[in-house]
Amino acid sequence: MNETYQQQAEREMWDAAAQQERETAAAHREAAAESFERCDTDGFVSQWAHGVLGQQHDLQARIEERGGTWTFTGLFDIVSGKRVEARLVSTRYGRSWCIRDSRGNAAQWAAAYKSGPRSKLHKLGLEERDEDVRAKAETWAPPGARGLSGATSVQVIAKRLDGGFPEGSTPWDKLPPRR
């Protein structure tokens, strides 16, 4: 496949950004190792922090290699194939889809990752599919994680930059009528 000049330039830009992220990650790993050599386990907090930052930059490099995108789950109308204006939210009952109407209000709620023929998603005429979305790597910890004990809960994740509502998604009240 022949690339256009612009496609090649964009790929080279993303590759350069990925290489820079990898170099930063390597510097953090090296700083963690130096800290351990210098003060054994007395510097455990800085060693931990450098390790987490190294992971974050490694993930950002992987995102950059993919053109600044990551694969997330999206909600789509089965009939039209349109992306529905919905995002995943955590509730006390687990992950759910918050489906918005054209005014930005929650019009429907449905349990996520349950897409069998008897599921609410299927009855609403919706299905989950993968979609590539602009993203960035960042650290995340669950609510309530505090202090040094909370540090063990910190994870590096890919975060959507569209807030879960991609541009051009269709509000619930603008979808074709349900069966």
Comparing CA positions, the residue from 21, 28, 20, 23 lying closest to residue 50 is: 28
As a whole number, mean pLDDT of residues 32-42 equals: 69
Give 34 or 162, the one with higher predicted confidence.
162
Asked if 95 and 113 touch (Cβ cutoff 8 Å), the reply is yes
Asked if the model's pLDDT at residue 26 lies above 90, the reply is: no
128-156 confidence digits (pLDDT tens): 999 999 999 999 998 888 887 888 889 99
- Side by side, the strands of the sheet bearing 106-111 are 86-91, 94-100, 106-111
pTM here is: 0.75
Examine the pLDDT at 100 and tell me if it is beyond 90: yes
3-state secondary structure of 119: coil
Q: What does the buried/exposed string (b/e) look like for 139-175 if buried means 16 or more CB atoms within 10 Å of the residue's CB? A: eeeeeeeeeeeeeeebebebbbeeebbbeebbbbeeb
Whole-angstrom CA distances from 37 to 30, 32, 33, 34, 108 are 11, 9, 6, 5, 55
What are the Cα distances from residue 109, in Å, to 40, 98, 170, 178?
A: 51, 5, 16, 16
* Over residues 73-101, mean pLDDT: 93
Helix (H, G, I), strand (E, B) or coil at 105: coil
Q: Please check the confidence at residue 93 and state whether its pLDDT lies above 60.
A: yes
Beta bridge partners of 139: 156
Is the predicted pLDDT of residue 27 greater than 60, yes or no? yes
Task: Name the amino acid, one letter, at 100.
Answer: R
Between 71 and 8, the higher pLDDT residue: 71
Distance CA 66, CA 69 (A): 6
Model confidence at 42, in pLDDT bands (50, 70, 90)?
low
User: Are residues 74 and 129 in contact, defined by beta-carbon separation less than 8 angstroms?
Assistant: yes
pLDDT higher for 6 or 164?
A: 164
Average pLDDT over residues 32-52: 75
